[in-house]
Structure 1
Amino acid sequence: MIRIAVANQKGGVGKTTTSINLATALAATGQRTLLIDLDPQGNASTGLGVSHAERDRSSYDLLTRECALGEAVVATRVPRLDLVPATVDLSGVEIELVGSEARTHRLDHVLATGDRWDVCLIDCPPSLGLLTVNALVAADSVLVPLQAEFFALEGLSQLLQTIERVRARFNPDLSILGVALTMYDRRNNLSAQVADDVRACLGNVVFDTVIPRNVRLSEAPSHGVPALIYDHRCPGSEAYISLARELIARLPAPAVAA
Structure 2
Amino acid sequence: MRTIVVANQKGGCAKTTTVVNLAAALAEIGKKILVIDLDPQANATQWLSGDGSKGGAYGLMIEEGPIDNFIGNTSIENVKIICATQELSYLERALAGRVASDSILSRRISCLKEDDWDFVLIDTPPTLGIVTLNALSCANELLIPVTTHILTLSGVAQLMSTVEAVKKLLNPGIQILGFLPSRVDQRTRHSGEVLDLLMEEFGDLVLKTTVRESVRIAESPSFQAPILKYDGASGAAADYRSLAREVLGFSVEEGHRQ
Q: TM-score range by the shorter chain?
A: over 0.9
Residue 244 of structure 1 deviates from its aligned partner by 1.2
Q: Report the 3-state secondary structure (helix = DSSP H, G, I; strand = E; otherwise coil) of the residue aligned with 1:50.
A: coil
What residue identity is the alignment partner of 2:111? Answer: T
Match of 2:63 in 1: 65
Consecutive aligned runs of 4 or more in structure 1 exceeding 3 Å deviation = none
Q: Any idea what the Cα deviations from partners look like across 1:195-224, whole Å, max 9, x if unmatched? A: 000011100100111111101101111111
Unaligned runs of 5+ in 2: 254-258
CA distance in 2, matches of 1:145, 1:251: 20
Match of 2:160 in 1: 160
Match of 1:15 in 2: 15
Unaligned runs of 5+ in 1: 254-258
Computed over aligned residues only, the root mean square deviation of the Cα atoms, in angstroms, reads: 1.3
CA distance in 2, matches of 1:43, 1:251: 30
CA distance in 2, matches of 1:77, 1:25: 14
Match of 2:44 in 1: 44
Q: Relative to structure 1, is the Cα distance of residues 251 and 123 closer, same or farther in structure 2, using a 3 angstrom cutoff?
A: farther
Tell me the TM-score normalized by structure 1: 0.94
Q: Relative to structure 1, is the Cα distance of residues 35 and 226 closer, same or farther in structure 2, using a 3 angstrom cutoff?
A: same
Match of 1:256 in 2: none
Q: Any idea what the Cα deviations from partners look like across 1:125-149, whole Å, max 9, x if unmatched? A: 1111111100000000100000100
Match of 2:29 in 1: 29
What residue identity is the alignment partner of 2:80? Answer: D
CA distance in 2, matches of 1:213, 1:95: 38
Q: Tell me if structure 2 keeps the 8 A contact 1:55–1:86.
A: no
Q: Any idea what the Cα deviations from partners look like across 1:14-39, whole Å, max 9, x if unmatched? A: 00010001111111222111010000
CA distance in 1, matches of 2:211, 2:66: 36
Match of 2:172 in 1: 172
Q: How many residues align structurally?
A: 251
Q: Report the 3-state secondary structure (helix = DSSP H, G, I; strand = E; otherwise coil) of the residue aligned with 1:211.
A: coil
Residue 99 of structure 1 deviates from its aligned partner by 1.1
CA distance in 1, matches of 2:131, 2:189: 35
Q: From 55, 63, 86, give the equivalent of 1:88.
A: 86
What residue identity is the alignment partner of 2:156? Answer: L
Structure 1 residue 5 corresponds to structure 2 residue 5:
yes
Tell me the TM-score normalized by structure 2: 0.94
Match of 2:219 in 1: 219
Please, which moves more after superposition, 214-223 or 59-68? 59-68
Match of 2:182 in 1: 182
Which residues in structure 2 correspond to 1:95-244 (within 5 Å)? 95-115=93-113, 116-244=116-244
Residue 153 of structure 1 deviates from its aligned partner by 1.7
What residue identity is the alignment partner of 1:6? Answer: V
Residue 66 of structure 1 deviates from its aligned partner by 4.4
Match of 2:74 in 1: 76
What residue identity is the alignment partner of 2:82? Answer: V
